[in-house]
Amino acid sequence: MTQLLDTSSSSIARAAECLRAGGLVAFPTETVYGLGAHALDAGAVRRLFEAKGRPANDPLIVHVASADEVRGLIMRMPPNAEALAARFWPGPLTLVLQKSPRVPAEVTAGLDTVAIRMPAHPVARALLETAQIPVAAPSANLFSRPSPTRAAHVLQDLEGRIDLVIDGGPTMVGVESTVLDLTSDLPVVLRPGAVTLEMLREIVPEVRGRVEGDPGKAGAYPSPGLMSKHYSPRAPMTLFTGRRDAVVDALVKRARQAAADGRRVGVLVMREDVDGFGDFPVRLAEMGTSADLAAVASRLYAAMRELDAAGVDVIFARDIDSEDGLGQAIRDRLHRAASEIVRL
């Protein structure tokens, strides 16, 4: 049985005790809900992989309460890591560093590096401070499903497979943390997130973006977990990318045709595009306006799950036209979720 807890201090204390004893606890962070296990307990980490159905070659992020705790998990803290941590922690930035032998190979999928982040969410912080252990936590979804941004999403995927879920309400950011590798010659962003390339370059000017151009389909990723098919709704999703008017026209046409063919159609839709969908049966999941990318990011995964829950057969979505700021992170998730990309 999986128990749902509130955020009272007695609940936090119980969840912390469960983690210390090797249990699995889902908790809110500012990005998405994480599924935590004691990072120095190899058995607990193995159970975590099992509960998610996650392949063992996809390494986990270790969450800490303080910068001091990091020292015990890595070989050395490079100066640029100090500066980035001082600026962005606690917050949605994960740093990949040379790992200490204390960190079990299960956590890092056998790599000699470890990903570390200090979350900003008050519930995550209270849990980590109370548990006084580093906590390995991937997103609390079944493997390849959209990341959970509410406690109910966690239960949809993991009910009966984990011990506890702390319900801290909807998460704020909605897409996972920025992952920055500091172990290669030049720092490189492995996964875009709310801490943008521009923000990172203010502190470390030589930071490189992961791939130029299409974020979803570029060859091999340097990180084994960054396979392109990921974060997907159950129904196959077609993403339309290119000039907005052409994209909206083509999307509406395809959706109308699919509906005429008797398919249940879902659309991840921007508020400004809603009017195009008046005259045929379609299930719309609104993501807000593309003028407010923070709102779109916070709605993205919940909207995918809504369409799945509505039982649609196919999903259509339009790409974000902006590469700035959060636009990159949203584009990255949309491209990875898509099983077909139509370029216009």
31 or 139: CB nearest Mg ion: 139
Q: Which of residues 131-150 bind ligand TXA (CB under 6 A)?
A: 137-139
Q: Is the Cβ–Cβ distance between 154 and 126 less than 8 Å?
A: no
Q: Which of residues 108-127 bind ligand TXA (CB under 6 A)?
A: 108, 111, 113-115, 117, 119
Q: Which does 108 bind (CB under 5 to 8 A by kind): Mg ion, ligand TXA, none?
A: ligand TXA
Rounded to 5 degrees, what angle do the CA atoms 206, 103, 64 make? 65
Residue 222 neighbours by CB under 8 Å, 6+ apart = 181, 184, 188, 190
Q: Is the Cβ–Cβ distance between 2 and 155 less than 8 Å?
A: yes
Phi, psi of 328 (to 5 degrees): -60, -45
Q: Which of residues 242-281 bind ligand TXA (CB under 6 A)?
A: none
| Crossing angle for the helix pair 293-309 and 151-158, to the nearest 10 degrees | 40
Stretch that binds Mg ion, among 77-85, 131-139, 203-211, 336-344 (CB under 5 A): 131-139
Q: Which of residues 217-246 bind ligand TXA (CB under 6 A)?
A: 223, 225-226
Q: Does 96 bind ligand TXA (CB under 6 A)?
A: yes
Between CA 296 and CA 334 the distance in angstroms is 11
Q: Shortest distance, CB of residue 316 to ligand TXA, whole angstroms?
A: 26
Q: Is the Cβ–Cβ distance between 305 and 156 less than 8 Å?
A: yes
Q: Shortest distance, CB of residue 215 to Mg ion, whole angstroms?
A: 16
Q: Shortest distance, CB of residue 251 to Mg ion, whole angstroms?
A: 27
Q: Pick from 29, 139, 149, 328 the residue near Mg ion by CB under 5 A.
A: 139
CA 283 to chain centre: 25
Q: Does 94 bind ligand TXA (CB under 6 A)?
A: yes
Q: Does 128 bind ligand TXA (CB under 6 A)?
A: no
Helix, strand, coil percentages, rounded to 5, for the chain: 35, 20, 45
95 or 314: CB nearest ligand TXA: 95
195-202: which pairs have CB atoms within 8 A and are 24 or more residues apart? Answer: 195/88, 195/91, 195/92, 195/93, 196/324, 196/325, 196/326, 196/328, 196/329, 197/328, 198/324, 198/325, 199/88, 200/84, 200/93, 202/87
Q: Which of residues 176-205 bind ligand TXA (CB under 6 A)?
A: 176-177, 179, 181, 190-191
Q: Which does 34 bind (CB under 5 to 8 A by kind): ligand TXA, Mg ion, none?
A: ligand TXA
# residues near ligand TXA by CB under 6 A: 30
Q: Shortest distance, CB of residue 86 to ligand TXA, whole angstroms?
A: 20
34 or 266: CB nearest ligand TXA: 34
Q: Pick from 5, 15, 19, 32 the residue near ligand TXA by CB under 6 A.
A: 32
**Burial code of 247-276, b = ≥16 C-beta within 10 A, e = fewer?**
bbebbbebbbebbeeeebbbbbbbbebeeb
> How is residue 4 annotated by DSSP?
E
Distances from the Cα of 30 to the Cαs of 35, 92, 171, 176, 193, in angstroms?
A: 14, 7, 5, 9, 12
Q: Is the Cβ–Cβ distance between 120 and 30 less than 8 Å?
A: yes
111 or 248: CB nearest ligand TXA: 111
Q: Shortest distance, CB of residue 235 to ligand TXA, whole angstroms?
A: 21
Q: Shortest distance, CB of residue 28 to ligand TXA, whole angstroms?
A: 9
55 or 281: CB nearest ligand TXA: 55
Q: Does 93 bind ligand TXA (CB under 6 A)?
A: no
Give the interface with Mg ion as residue ranges (CB under 5 A).
139
Give the interface with ligand TXA as residue ranges (CB under 6 A).
29, 31-32, 34, 58-61, 92, 94, 96, 108, 111, 113-115, 117, 119, 137-139, 176-177, 179, 181, 190-191, 223, 225-226
